[in-house]
Amino acid sequence: MAVMDKAQVEKLMDAIAARATALRDGQRNANLVPTNGSLWNIVDAFGNAEIESALEPAADAADIALRDETTFLQSQVAPILGPLIKAVNSAIATDGEYASLDALLTGEGAQVSPFINVLAASADGLGADLTPANVFSPSIQSVSPDKVYAGAEDNTIVDVTANITNVANANTTLFGADNSVLYVGFNRKPSTAKVHLFVDVVTPASADVVLEQQYWNGVEWVDLTTSDAATTGDYANVGTKGFTQGGVIEFDTPADWDAGWVTPTGAPISGTVSPDLTPRYWLRFARTANTIVTSPIVNVIRSGIGMGLAIITGVNQVRFIAGAAVASFYDAPDTIKLRAVLPIGDDVTPTITYKNRAGDSVSETQGAWTAPATGDVTAALTLHTANEGVAQVTDVEVVTAATGGMFIVESTQPRTPVL
């Protein structure tokens, strides 16, 4: 009998991964001290040009390094948890049935978190990646914002997170007056090159609210160029057009997008909300149109296209935009689902083309999906060959009478971690 069986090794590795996650999250929250700002901000406030010039480059470098989660895991967490992984590896080798932790995972059919692979690859761990088949892929999904505020800018901001992130809760009226605002915050900066916000508008604005669109760079609000009013390209005519329709707002992830918090002093957000000391990556949308007869009412806002976005543009017509592929050092997931991010007005029968775990390109037509509403999720898709894995979605075709709506392809972790 092996020194550890499948259940035991997965439980121990999941516990190590959970502690790595906790350390990472603690580092992220401590990186920006809410009452003072980033290290660069503290130095910049000294009011002494000579000392600021001397210290700001190093302070900025420290801020950047602290925000790099992989570097933090390898340099700060690996010295703590890597030796335990090395000890497990040695105990397995000493037992003799398996030569290493990696061999035991293969032999017992076990899989571990991507965090374990980062720690194993570090100098404090095993100094090498685990076999990809032994490391399950992170979920590749869309997410809800972590915090959303809305209202007028004259200190009447309210927390609308519960409604704007849950299709089952009440809808939210936005931009009720000129200069009213919408703040959308995320706990982490997206790792993707582009950001997609899906806005389910259930009552359109009677006219374009003429959005001012910005992001917070850690110091000030910066204008943001988005696809909301695009008439050409991949996102032609599928933005919200100033919240006059449901749509997707797409933009390049700003390199200097930085975290901020809600404080009584209003940097970056002021209002009647209680102080919120969790650093978040904020977007700001402000209405600049003087007169709007009907303000828009929104069901939910969601972000991310998972493994791919399908935009239905007409009967049996779809525009596909590729999303994330599974990294080569993870196992390709077998569980793939579809999520409606904007309502589809009729039944849809999709055909999904993808590259499997072996790199082969295959297609599989799915069963009919009944008039999906926003938030509807299918059961696991049927793969061309059972358990062959989906490494990358390359195309989607549809049979439908619908003329609009959007859905994305998502993957999920193959198992719930044992913690």
Please report the DSSP string for 231-298 in residue order.
-SSTTTT-S-TTTTS-EEEEEEPPTT--EEEE-TT-SEE-SSSPPEEEEEEEEEEEE--S--SS--EE
Q: What is the pLDDT along the chain (419 residues), one digit of tens a residue?
A: 567 889 999 999 999 988 887 776 665 555 544 444 567 667 777 777 887 788 877 877 776 665 566 666 667 788 889 999 999 999 999 998 999 999 999 999 999 998 899 889 988 899 999 999 999 988 899 999 999 999 887 667 889 999 999 999 999 999 999 989 999 999 888 888 999 999 999 999 999 999 999 999 888 899 999 999 999 999 999 999 999 999 999 999 999 998 887 654 555 676 666 667 678 899 999 999 888 999 999 999 999 999 999 999 999 999 999 999 998 878 899 999 999 999 999 999 999 999 999 999 999 999 999 999 999 999 999 999 998 999 999 999 999 999 999 999 999 877 777 65
Structure-token pair, residue 398: 């549809």
Cα 295–chain centre separation: 29
What are the residues facing 308 on neighbouring strands? 322, 409
Could you tell me the two tokens for 315?
């009967």
Identify the CA nearest to 228 among candidates 206, 217, 218, 213. 213
Pair 228, 211: CB distance under 8 Å? yes
Q: Which has the closest alpha carbon to 24: 75, 88, 59?
A: 75
| Contacts (Cβ under 8 Å, ≥6 apart) of 20 | 73, 77, 81, 115, 118, 119
Q: Which residues pair with 362 in a beta bridge?
A: 354
**Residue 269 phi, psi dihedral angles, 5° rounding:** -120, 130
Cα separation of 401 and 347, whole Å?
7
Tokens in use for 27?
């580092």
**Residue 66: alpha-carbon gap to chain centroid:** 20
Give the pLDDT confidence score for residue 224 in this predicted structure.
96
Residue 77 CB neighbour total at 10 angstroms: 24
Of 226, 365, 357, 207, the C-alpha closest to 294 is: 207
Which residues does 237 contact at the CB level (< 8 Å), separation at least 6? Answer: 230, 231
Phi, psi values for residue 29, rounded to 5°: -70, -30
Phi, psi angles (nearest 5°) of residue 58: -70, -35
pLDDT at 54: 80
Give the per-residue pLDDT at 395: 98
Per-residue model confidence (pLDDT) at position 33: 43
Q: How is residue 390 annotated by DSSP?
A: E
Burial category of 291 from C-beta neighbours within 10 Å (exposed 0-12, middle 13-18, buried 19 and up): exposed
